[in-house]
Structure 1
């Protein structure tokens, strides 16, 4: 399986995902799927304006060098099918000249693969194949080329959107942030101190652990929020509105609270999670939990949540 910010894929699920994306994104260009059942011609489909697509998903999480080698060899091998299958492809393409051959893969890690595509484009233009345009080009697309289609595809497949950060902040980065945001850290220490009884054993270490959790949830949650902002801008704007409206009510909620501080905290957490689930029924539970943790941590650090 290959891990992406939008979920994990294998060869079959990647091709299935891509086919729906192609049909949505290139409907106006007359996209035509080419099933491999009667023989693999080396393409997944084509458009009437001369774009051919070939999908590839790595079998596992390769390091950058290995991934480059696998993708390079796959591109080289599949492009040769244009030569071997020239006559057969012409039966389907008719008068269409291929302007672009696009290699669609979840992600790539080395820019050398872009150079390989350019080199292959130059090589194939010199072959004078009857199906290729004079300006034939070879491109590589990753999953982000279909950011606008992803919510539609997931809805079509009755799956929920997953915002899956591929990296988290390191211990060094978190420690560096703490030295630069002392006032926010002090807020968290004070707030979590109000959640823990003064007579409890190892109180200071427990306060520090809760504070550390809040900081990690905030920083790593920000990565997920940034992905939402970049990949799903409409959903991000909605997220900001939902959180802002809830935050405006926090002062009153905290003032009229008659329960202990931990009960108040849990109430706020539960209510926020319900609001997010209602607003984003198409986002998976793990992402909802991650966003909830980020917002709560932000409120602890900045003080919208106040304990008496």
Structure 2
């Protein structure tokens, strides 16, 4: 799976549906008809005039492969059933000129071949129903965003070009657990230039300022820019894995390590959200580093401080 799409796993149902709708609009243009949720969706979120029906489904993660498959299987069975049972309403919805040739369930991640086999069984089920609005050669299939990679990236790039974050505010420092602050202060004490208590205290305060504002930024991005949120969280998760597996082996001085991590984090943030100001990118990056210092993925060796 493309790294930029890995963060799609775990999106809420509403977030996934919103993203799918954006991408399908980009893919199909005015050929796409979105079906409002009000009154029930009858087993579909949207359809095209050329005969493709879409249902979007994102199960609550984390899940193991078998459990994920079972949830996807059951959702497919349930909504294909709606597609069959609501025949009178769907006949009116599609009219005389639309014949459905593809019923598609879109999921963030599919890692079991059994889902494709189940869709084949559901194909037989739909064909046997002999519905007026269904092409005799209809197929039930499963897809991910990788099937719409070009349109997905166009949607992401469109979001990047208009991203604007709220203004920075003076945060409530008391909302951070004191033990986490002590942990950060202790680790930064290994940095030679921060051994002075007053200098370290000011540095910790600046990191906490970035941390608390970055939490607000990330919540705002998640609510208003789903695609950027996916990219950003995926990149920061990947970088955290590097902290655990690679940076821990770095034998440079603590100050050098800290600079390296700060620079790499800011670089990743800027790549995910190039339209943000330098200050906002830095706030997001420094806030993430502060979190790593408090949660422990980032630490330094005592014997390197001198």
TM, length-normalised to structure 2: 0.56
1:17-72 per-residue CA deviation (whole Å, 9 max, x = no partner) reads 111111111115x1000011133321101000000001111022111111111111
Query: 1:1-308 alignment to 2 at 5 Å?
Result: 5-7=6-8, 8-27=10-29, 30-94=31-95, 95-154=97-156, 155-156=158-159, 157-158=224-225, 160=228, 161-162=231-232, 164=234, 209-210=249-250, 266=259, 270=263, 273=266, 277=270, 281=274
Q: C-alpha root-mean-square deviation of aligned residues, in Å?
A: 4.1
Q: Which has the larger radius of gyration?
A: 1
Contact 2:73 2:115 in 1 (8 A): yes
Contact 1:10 1:57 in 2 (8 A): yes
3-state SS of paired residue (1:107): coil
1:256-281 per-residue CA deviation (whole Å, 9 max, x = no partner) reads xxxx9966994897499569838961
1:64-113 per-residue CA deviation (whole Å, 9 max, x = no partner) reads 11111111111111001122111111112112110000001111221010
Taking the aligned partners of 2:264 and 2:114, their CA distance within structure 1 comes to: 49
Contact 1:5 1:163 in 2 (8 A): no
Contact 2:101 2:137 in 1 (8 A): yes
Unaligned runs of 5+ in 2: 160-223, 290-306
The offset of 1:153, in angstroms, is 3.2
Taking the aligned partners of 1:83 and 1:4, their CA distance within structure 2 comes to: 32
Match of 2:297 in 1: none
1:123-145 per-residue CA deviation (whole Å, 9 max, x = no partner) reads 32122111110110011011222
Contact 1:5 1:162 in 2 (8 A): no
Report how many aligned residue pairs link the two structures: 205
3-state SS of paired residue (2:141): strand
Taking the aligned partners of 1:279 and 1:15, their CA distance within structure 2 comes to: 22
1:203-250 per-residue CA deviation (whole Å, 9 max, x = no partner) reads xxxx98315xx9xxxxxxxxxxxxxxxxxxxxxxxxxxxxxxxxxxxx
The offset of 1:162, in angstroms, is 2.9
Taking the aligned partners of 1:268 and 1:57, their CA distance within structure 2 comes to: 33
Unaligned runs of 5+ in 1: 175-187, 189-206, 215-259, 291-308
1:275-307 per-residue CA deviation (whole Å, 9 max, x = no partner) reads 983896159856xx99xxxxxxxxxxxxxxxxx
Distance 1:63 1:129, change over 3 A: same
Taking the aligned partners of 1:44 and 1:33, their CA distance within structure 2 comes to: 6
Distance 1:60 1:273, change over 3 A: closer
3-state SS of paired residue (1:9): coil
Distance 1:130 1:147, change over 3 A: same
Distance 1:158 1:282, change over 3 A: farther
Contact 1:125 1:135 in 2 (8 A): yes
